[in-house]
């Protein structure tokens, strides 16, 4: 019934061959992402069917509703993440993102230190450079389980997946080495394009 609304998994195979990432790791990661897309669609279809059957207000309906945030964010965050990878050029230090990072953090290096610090926090999750849609301010946020903790109305500018599946195949427990490798592959033009 929600067929028209169904999300389709995007193809990120152009990232294969990216330095520091094996095809095995990336292909597994694409498969995992596709699972989120499938489950986002399934949740939407199930909720719509339950609503139609007068089952809104049941515990089952509530649980699927709760689950939806997990599936949708899992889908969308992976899209942001894969889209901001595959770059070969360093951040343009005369561009608007670099200027904004310097204005809000004092220097690019200070921002980077904070971003890496965020990305190496214990736990599974995401490091996200956000822009507050109201004040325009940039800040780094740690997102643990991804159905909670997103600052309301903020725009994700740069996303790094630090769930273990994002690095263990190639880096074992060396998350910091994965972060260095990922930072060498950032598509800064995409990140900058998200800035308001
Ligand atoms: Fe992931």
Q: What spacing in Å lies between the alpha carbon of 79 and ligand 1's midpoint?
A: 10
Q: What φ, ψ does residue 161 adopt, rounded to 5°?
A: -80, 120
Q: What spacing in Å lies between the alpha carbon of 165 and ligand 1's midpoint?
A: 6
Q: What spacing in Å lies between the alpha carbon of 72 and ligand 1's midpoint?
A: 13
Q: Is 153 exposed, middle or buried (0-12, 13-18, 19+ CB in 10 A)?
A: exposed
Q: What spacing in Å lies between the alpha carbon of 48 and ligand 1's midpoint?
A: 27
CB count within 10 Å of CB 122 equals 6
Q: What spacing in Å lies between the alpha carbon of 15 and ligand 1's midpoint?
A: 14
Q: What spacing in Å lies between the alpha carbon of 57 and ligand 1's midpoint?
A: 32
Q: What is the pTM of this model?
A: 0.95
- Residue 2: per-residue pLDDT: 45
Six token digits for residue 21: 């990432």
Q: What spacing in Å lies between the alpha carbon of 56 and ligand 1's midpoint?
A: 31
Per-residue model confidence as pLDDT tens for the chain (196 residues): 444 669 999 999 999 999 999 999 999 999 999 999 999 999 999 999 999 999 999 999 999 999 999 999 999 999 999 999 999 999 999 999 999 999 999 999 999 999 999 999 999 999 999 999 999 999 999 999 999 899 999 999 999 999 999 999 999 999 999 999 999 999 999 999 999 9
Q: Give how far Cα 121 sits from Cα of 19, 54, 164, Å.
A: 24, 44, 12
- Residue 4: per-residue pLDDT: 61
């Amino acid at each position: 019934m929600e067929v028209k609304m169904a999300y389709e998994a995007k193809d990120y195979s152009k990232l294969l061959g990216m330095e520091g990432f094996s095809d095995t790791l990336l292909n597994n990661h694409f498969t995992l992402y596709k699972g989120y897309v499938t489950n986002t669609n399934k949740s939407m279809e199930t909720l719509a069917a339950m609503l139609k059957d007068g089952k809104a207000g049941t515990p089952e309906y509530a649980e699927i509703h709760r689950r939806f945030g997990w599936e949708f964010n899992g889908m969308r965050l992976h899209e942001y993440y894969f889209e901001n990878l595959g770059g070969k050029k360093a951040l343009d230090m005369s561009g608007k993102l670099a200027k904004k990072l310097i204005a809000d953090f004092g220097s690019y290096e200070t921002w980077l230190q904070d971003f890496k610090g965020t990305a190496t926090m214990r736990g599974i999750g995401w490091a996200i450079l956000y822009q507050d849609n109201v004040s325009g301010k940039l800040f780094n946020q740690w997102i643990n389980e991804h159905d909670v903790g997103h600052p309301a109305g903020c725009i994700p500018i740069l996303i790094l997946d630090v769930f273990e599946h994002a690095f263990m195949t190639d880096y074992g427990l060396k998350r910091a080495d994965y972060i260095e490798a990922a930072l060498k592959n950032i598509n800064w033009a995409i990140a900058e394009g998200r800035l308001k």
